[in-house]
Chain A
């Protein structure tokens, strides 16, 4: 396979929004090989693959298909040239048959009527060709298991001339058996000369299927090496890099009575038997890969989702506190800043004032009636404290920048004044300046004796602001580290441990720190 000329060559590719998220990527995609694309959360894997698949336009660099320049302006254009991408979220129509999904957009028809026989025959031929003849083209997609749905999605990408296929976390929802089937399909594609780009954070799978591996870090190309001879430790080391930043000083925490103790929290496979405790005045981070159960854990503590089992002890109480809804969580002094402020946090077309006071109307009302002046002064004080930038406090929050939107969410919870605050990705989509303001507020809250539980995909952020960091992997709590015990390598290894089959729970691994 190494003798072939590259099918696609990219050179100096970069993407800059407000800040660069991808820069100077040089890469060759060879026919008949599987190239694994790995990196931490936010390393640029998705951005790069979306550029290749025509979903995003690069802001720098060139791509070449053979000798001709390739710069697709749409997904359709990329697909016409044989470059396909299977996204993490399936885009099938569950109420239509497999065959109809395969040929959606170009159904065989006569005078507007679908030619069913031809449709099913062509679908059957196609499925046969790629070895999926076990799936009946007549069955409804919604009735298939999730694994088979994924196969149908892949099968759809393979219609016509497919030369390069990008699979983004294809095994996230598959069983062991289905994964093996997928791998057989990948081998088959390779034999046909297709280049398969395999994005995954499951390193054991990467080891099994990839011919070469590319590691990205902070939007940069770190290394591309043959898979053979690479160890998982080496891959993680490449993902982490070596730089160690000076952390901001945090006052030493004295061990006191925990304000929140979680014991044996469970919800399906998402969160499995998680226990930990939180001290007052502490900023406690939860690290882990996307989908490791961090968000779910916060939602369980907050009562936003139903837990299967598990107990929550508050303020050193001997008996557990039952929290069944966000309403009762708030009554017990627990607040949640959600991961997605647009769909779960803000009332986007409503004003800064409304959004700030909605969780604590009592502070701006008299006997059920709003006091407009008080609402204004309360909001003004918080907006000033947080440095919210706006035309007026009546401005709709949807018109604000991400950073200012997040500050409005903070203002709401500062007004609510919870003793325990759960924060899910508090700085996602927030610019550097606003981040600093948010960190300052978080530290102030901790100084005031509040306990903060912070989920973040940005390890350096956690290492910077936290007193302790717990790592979750594949729904389990792997380990808890103190400020002097962690480094990026240790944390990242722990984050991957649940997916590689080897656990870093053992003290030896911890000792490497």
Chain B
């Protein structure tokens, strides 16, 4: 292998993507640091760390769904429904904490599996099916909670308690999900099948790999991770709010896309997604600190999303031209 090939690999390959995202992230931190004297403090970063676990675990699921060339718009609603069911099990039915949490997780996995199964078996676009699930799960969350926020109390706050230096167990769980997610994607048969199906589903079928169970499992996993996010949220609020997570699916998709995962399927990385989550979180925290108004925040976030995708496309085109 000649030197030009090696160097091209180096900065256009996976490591290059991570470096690019890290540079963008550090640049943003430096920018906000120069604009606000309070930004570069431990407090800021502890706050960010405790803010992002829910977004992070959902983004890992969404990364998988996008890799198989699908999409799941229902994660916010599924998150609310899991949270609602879990809280009602504790409050109304007198369940213990452990079975109630398990019920919440099962609910998420079941919702995801249903979305996946309907879209795979009837060959419907997952965009539409998950849009339906978004409404169904949200409605169910209102029914279960009687449309009121249900206060549980401190029984459930251990997930968001102070584990070490202000960091919560939820953040540690989110980090574990990232690591396991990345290992599954790159080192497991399941991950290999996901990438193959997203690249060329028909070729996979003709190679003797049935895409259907893999796709359904990916949606189930995404639902499960959405319910994990729901439980994290419940723990933080010490309550189940049926309005939680409205519109969060767009934030989740934005984080994944900023990380460079392709909406066309076949290409993506969980680590990159984590960078995407961090970029969104830093942006949000930084703008809050410099006192930007909510409308300004939204405008700038929108611009960052588009710029990130443009950058990704540009890198892609350059790589192709060189190949």
Residues of A near any B CB (own CB < 8 A): 302, 304, 325-327, 329-330, 335-336, 338, 343-350, 354, 358-359, 361, 365, 368-370, 372, 391-392, 396, 399, 412, 416
Contact = CB atoms under 8 A, between A and B. Distances in A.
Nearest to A302: B206
B210 to A, nearest CB: 5
Nearest to A362: B189
Contacts of B203: 343-347
A363 to B, nearest CB: 11
Chain B interface, DSSP helix/strand/loop, else mixed? helix
B189 A347 contact: no
B188 interface: yes
A359 B209 CA distance: 7
B207 to A, nearest CB: 4
B199 A325 contact: no
5 contacts: A336-B206, A346-B203, A349-B266, A354-B192, A361-B192
Interface string B184-196: 0001111011011
A358 B207 contact: yes
A336 B210 CA distance: 15
A268 B1 CA distance: 53
B190 A368 contact: yes
A412 B196 CA distance: 14
A346 B205 CA distance: 11
B236 interface: no
A89 to B, nearest CB: 19
Contacts of B193: 361
Interface of B: 1, 5, 187-190, 192-193, 195-196, 199-200, 202-210, 266-267, 323
Contacts of B267: 349
Nearest to A394: B9
A354 B196 contact: yes
Contact of B208 (A327, A354, A391, A399): A327
Contacts of A345: 203, 206
A348 B193 CA distance: 15
Nearest to B202: A344
B202 to A, nearest CB: 6
Contacts of A346: 200, 203
Contacts of A354: 192, 195-196
A344 B267 CA distance: 19
Contacts of B1: 391-392
Given A302-B206, A369-B188, 11 more contacts: A304-B205, A325-B205, A326-B205, A344-B200, A345-B206, A347-B196, A350-B266, A358-B207, A368-B190, A391-B5, A399-B323
B189 A370 contact: yes
B100 to A, nearest CB: 31
B187 A370 contact: yes
B188 A368 contact: yes
B199 A329 contact: no
B192 A330 contact: no
A344 B196 contact: no
B207 A370 contact: no
Contacts of B188: 368-370
Nearest to B198: A347
